[in-house]
Amino acid sequence: MTNSDMTTNKPGRPLNKNSRELQKDLLIKAASELLEEKSYRTITIREIAERAGMKSAMISYYFKNKEGLFIALIEQFAAFNIAKMQTAINSDEPLKVFIKEAISHLANNPSLSRFIADEVLFQDGPLAESIINAAPKRVAQFLPELMRALQKQRKLREDIDPKWAAFSLMTMILMPFIGARVRDRAWNISHDDVSSPQWVDHIYNLFLSGAGIPATVSTNQ
């Protein structure tokens, strides 16, 4: 290691950029794992540090506090999944592929979906605002553009507001996961049900049945 790689000699702090990023990733990973076992509010800084094999002070050093760590977790998670959703828009079946990607990312991360619901629906503050900025606001920027494109292709009714259509679609996708407890106990619809290809087809067809242009309608009308 050269002198240029050194950042600090203070005890307990990493010495170079690579080790800094590694330790940050380990703390984020530990937070994500604990979120699968318990709620955000019951997770302690000590538990996160112990799971990552570090001292609690490292969380303050990198993220200021527990809230900052979970904001980093949400931003990392959103960056990857939003990119996949945006890529879907360039596919041959953009609407269906978008629905598939959105459902897949919710289905594969139920603990994160629960965390987002708990902190956005029932709380207010910097954490809730960061969650909204990380994913919902970004989807709200590009999904209405897909609706406008579908309108130009005569696949979506022209009298429907693209933003309203996009919001309605996201509500249809999100609610089975955010309302998982009611879905399970009242409707007896399982996580596997709403994660299946059949559910993707269901949401796709249901959305188009209300917002789409029927295939029997002539494009000359």
- Give the CATH number for residue 59: 1.10.10.60
- The answer to whether residue 32 is domain-embedded is yes
- The answer to whether residue 7 is domain-embedded is no
C-alpha–C-alpha distance, residues 63 and 77, integer Å: 16
Q: Which residue spans within 4-113 are E strands per DSSP?
A: none
Q: Indicate whether 21 and 85 sit together in one domain.
A: no
Q: Which two tokens stand for residue 203?
A: 């949401």
Domain that holds residue 83: 70-215
Q: Indicate whether 98 and 138 sit together in one domain.
A: yes
pLDDT tens by residue, 157-202: 999 999 999 999 999 999 999 889 899 999 999 999 999 999 999 9
More confident residue, 191 or 128: 191
CA nearest to 95, candidates 204, 212, 209, 214:
204
C-alpha–C-alpha distance, residues 197 and 195, integer Å: 7
C-alpha–C-alpha distance, residues 58 and 46, integer Å: 10
- Average pLDDT for residues 11-27, to the nearest whole number? 76
- Average pLDDT for residues 33-37, to the nearest whole number? 93
Where residue 31 falls among pLDDT bands split at 50, 70, 90? very high
C-alpha–C-alpha distance, residues 182 and 184, integer Å: 5
Where residue 18 falls among pLDDT bands split at 50, 70, 90? confident
The DSSP element (H or E) to which 180 belongs, if any, is helix 180-187
For residue 2, the model assigns a pLDDT of 39
Phi, psi of 212 (to 5 degrees): -85, 170
Of 6-10, 189-193, 216-220, which one has max mean pLDDT?
189-193
Q: Indicate whether 95 and 42 sit together in one domain.
A: no
- Average pLDDT for residues 153-158, to the nearest whole number? 90
- The answer to whether residue 140 is domain-embedded is yes
C-alpha–C-alpha distance, residues 73 and 111, integer Å: 12
For residue 116, the model assigns a pLDDT of 82
Mean pLDDT, rounded, of the chain: 86
Q: Indicate whether 56 and 91 sit together in one domain.
A: no
